A and B are shown apart, each in its own frame.
Chain A
Amino acid sequence: MAQVTAVAEARPSSHRFRRARSRIPVWHLTWLVLAALVFLVPIYSVVQFSLAGIGPGQSPFHWYLTVFDDPMFRASFWLSIQISLETVAVSLVLMVPTVFWVHLRLPGLRAVMDLISILPFVVPPIVLVVGLLPFLKNITWLFVRPEVLSLIYVVFALPFLYRALDAGLRAIDLRTLVDAAESLGARMPRTLLRVILPNLRAAIIGGSLLTIAIAMGEYTVASLLEFNTFSVYTYTVGTSTAYEGVALSFISFIFVWGAMLALYLLGRGGRGAAAVAITDYK
């Protein structure tokens, strides 16, 4: 009887709770709609413009098909992807062990790392490149190869990757995990690969994604060094045929979103999905 009473009493309160949750203040909704409009209207305009200016009998996706048919598009796109992946690889190889070591053994250097990591924010890319050019020109075999862009983009991506890794390492009890692995007989490389990296998965994926976005979208340096990357190609096409340029912009949007989604899904699958209720110690 007591249980029946309890259930009967519980219902109205849970309904009240749900109603309270579903009631969103009007001004919250207003800001939400305004923010959505700021984000969606330009995208809508891009899509609409990329479907316009089509002659009679042509496909509504004429400009997209034209872009895809252009061998320069494929070449520039793959070049940018290649540079992005190289940038991610070099950045991770350099930054993961460095940030790990600073957190573990040289915590006093964290302030210095913080300072270094914001330099690319405060020094404009063009200044960085002008400063780097005399040095890079001396390495002739590298200067003429697109890999040179990867090395420069590593510097541009440094703040983003460093912040992501720093946050990831702060979120785990690094010292204890390393000590525990060591006491079980593991050497540092195994500890890093088997224990630390899997727990930095989200940070690495997030940092990599930002690095890809930077490398895919960078124009100034690529143009200056005369590499026909995707952004340079987009600009060139856009100056001759606006519709094609806009279609290219939308393609790059889709690519970045797709990459984000893929990396997000990859990150979610990391720690075993089985959801078991937390049980109290008995």
Chain B
Amino acid sequence: MATVELRGLRRTFGSVVALDDLSLEVRSGEFVSLLGPSGCGKTTALRIIAGFEWPDSGEVLVEGEDVLSKPANKRNMGMVFQAYSLFPNMTAQQNVEFGLRVRKESHEKRVQRARELLELVGLGSAMGRYPRQLSGGQQQRVALARSLAIQPRVLLLDEPLSALDAKVRVQLRAEVRRIQLELGITTLYVTHDQEEALSISDRVAVMSHGRIEQLGTPAQIYSGPRTAFVANFVGTMNKLEGTVVSLEDRVVRCGPLLVSIPDPTFNHPVGETVELFVRPEDISLELLANGGKLASGLVEGRVTSLTFLGPVTRVGLATDLGPIMADVSSAVALNLAADTVVGVKLDSSSLRSIAR
């Protein structure tokens, strides 16, 4: 299996900078997702690796070899597209065999390989079907089998599940990961769906404006966003403003609360205004008895909205810290209603300060 290295890729379309000095190393057998909003350059990067686009400058190395001088049909990279890309005039089997036919493999080998791969994607019984006789999910499975048939050095997936409905998407992404692990193939996966990226990747590269904002494991990206963009893009974040009170103890005043920042690299002068981020699941609520007083370390919050999300309910709160969202167990949320006054507690160990 191959390593992929992108070095200083830059690509512009007129005045629009699609890729801005993009660099990334993908290890052999690794599953890396390029995650970002529309227009962040993730698909452009993938198409450059595949050979469908060329950068203005930079290098693409596969196993140390610069592949930019090779056309797409010589790069031996499997690609699954966002749009349904099966050849409509061919059956599932003929689609899978196409790349092998190009490579002049024998009939027996082609048929055997097509059968193996269609069985691998769970479509062994649909070999004779035409694309129009397959559902969207089945077509993408065949497209995956087709891309794997040529034993590619790298597998490239460009939002392959975005046209599918939610349930199929969840099932299929798990299968993509299972197959990737089974084959140990180096994989680059483009998606704008953070849940998808976090659930199946070894590492995630969060992209914005043609650059990688942060590269890390899903846990690192989720728990330790390094930029405000990553914090806001991945998951839901509450943003609070505070003033540094003590640099030594990393204490920040946030409304009526004094909170201690756990990040040892926190280095802001006393008096500076900083942005603090905290996830809804790191905020807890305490119901107040009638006329009850707030315990220390809590701020008062008034419920403004309740959104049922299944096991948890997202509670919108108006507080002295500003508007806040908190996730509480749906069973607990049964005791809440609009205008209920609650005590809001921030878990200071989960507070993150991000440089502006």
Interface on A for B, CB 8 Å cutoff? 172-173, 176-177, 179-187, 190, 194-195, 198-199, 201, 270-272, 274, 276-281
* B72, A271: Cβ atoms closer than 8 Å: no
Q: Evaluate contact between A172 and B128: CB separation under 8 angstroms.
A: no
Q: Is B54 an interface residue (CB 8 A)?
A: no
- Interface assignment of B229: CB less than 8 Å from any CB of chain A: no
Q: How far apart are A232's CB and chain B's nearest CB, in angstroms?
A: 41
Given known contacts A276-B133, A278-B135, A182 and B72 CB-to-CB distance under 8 angstroms: yes
A279: B residues at CB distance < 8 A: 133-135, 138
Are B102 and A186 within 8 A (Cβ)? yes
Residues from chain B with Cβ under 8 Å of A176 in the complex: 81, 83-85
* B99 within 8 Å of A (CB atoms): yes
B6 in contact (CB, < 8 A): no
A184, A201, A280 interface centre (most CB from chain B within 10 Å): A184
Chain B neighbourhood of A183, CB < 8 A: 50-51, 72-73, 75, 77-79, 147
Tell me the residues in window 124-149 of chain B with beta carbons closer than 8 Å to chain A beta carbons.
128-130, 132-138, 143, 146-147, 149
Tell me the complex Cα distance, A277–B88, Å: 16
| Interface contact A187-B73, CB-CB below 8 Å | yes
- A residues near B72, Cβ cutoff 8 Å: 179, 182-183
Asked if B98 lies at the interface with its beta carbon under 8 angstroms from chain A, I say yes
**Given contacts A271-B130, A279-B135, A281-B135, is CB(A184)–CB(B89) below 8 Å?**
no
13 contacts across the A-B interface (CB closer than 8 A): A176-B81, A177-B87, A179-B72, A180-B79, A180-B85, A181-B87, A184-B150, A194-B98, A271-B89, A271-B130, A281-B135, A281-B137, A281-B171
A270 nearest in chain B by CB position? B89
Rounded to whole angstroms, the CA-CA distance of A173 and B88 in the bound complex is 10
User: When the two chains form their complex, are residues A195 and B87 in contact, meaning their CB atoms are under 8 A apart?
Assistant: yes
Asked whether B99 lies within 8 Å of A185 as measured between CB atoms, the reply is yes
**Nearest CB on A from B309, distance (A):** 25
Whether B356 sits at the interface, judged by CB under 8 Å, is: no
A181 touches B83 (CB 8 A): no
Taking A183-B77, A185-B73 as given, write out 20 further A-B residue pairs in contact, using a Cβ cutoff of 8 Å, ordered by the A residue number: A176-B85, A179-B81, A180-B81, A180-B85, A180-B143, A181-B87, A182-B51, A184-B146, A184-B147, A184-B150, A185-B74, A186-B99, A190-B102, A199-B89, A271-B88, A277-B133, A278-B132, A278-B135, A279-B134, A281-B135
Across-interface contacts of B293 in A (CB, < 8 A): none
In the complex, A274 Cα to B77 Cα: how many Å? 33
CB-defined contacts of B52 to chain A, threshold 8 Å: 179, 182
Q: Chain B residues near A190 (CB, 8 Å)?
A: 102
Q: Is B338 an interface residue (CB 8 A)?
A: no
Q: Is the CB of A185 within 8 A of B76?
A: yes
Q: Are B135 and A280 in contact (CB under 8 A)?
A: yes
Shortest distance between the CB of A95 and any CB in chain B (Å): 20
Chain B residues closer than 8 Å to A195, beta-carbon distance: 87, 89
Which single member of B78, B85, B103, B168 contacts A179 (CB below 8 Å)? B85
Instruction: Determine if B91 is an interface residue (Cβ-Cβ < 8 Å).
Output: yes
How far does the Cβ of A177 sit from chain B's closest Cβ, in whole Å? 6
Residue of A at shortest CB range from B74? A185
- Whether the Cβ atoms of A184 and B136 lie closer than 8 Å is no
Residues of A within 8 A of B132 (CB): 278
Q: How far is the CB of A263 from chain B (nearest CB, A)?
A: 18
- A residues within 8 A CB of B78? 183
A170 → chain B, closest Cβ, in Å? 14
**Is the CB–CB distance between B91 and A272 below 8 Å?**
yes
Interfacial chain A residues near B74, Cβ < 8 Å: 185
Q: Provide the residues of chain A in CB contact with B134, threshold 8 Å.
A: 278-279
- Please tell me if the beta carbons of A172 and B88 are within 8 angstroms of each other in the complex: yes
B135 contacts A185, CB within 8 Å?
no
Q: Mark B80-121, 1 if CB is under 8 A from A, else 0.
A: 010111111101000000110011000000000000000000
Chain A: which residue is nearest B86 at the CB level?
Answer: A180
Min CB distance, B255 to chain A, in Å? 50
With contact pairs A179-B52, A182-B52 given, residues A272 and B79 touching in the complex (Cβ less than 8 Å) = no
A266 vs B192: C-alpha distance when bound (angstroms): 44
CB distance from A115 to the nearest CB of B (A): 25
Instruction: Judge whether B89 and A181 touch: CB under 8 Å.
Output: no
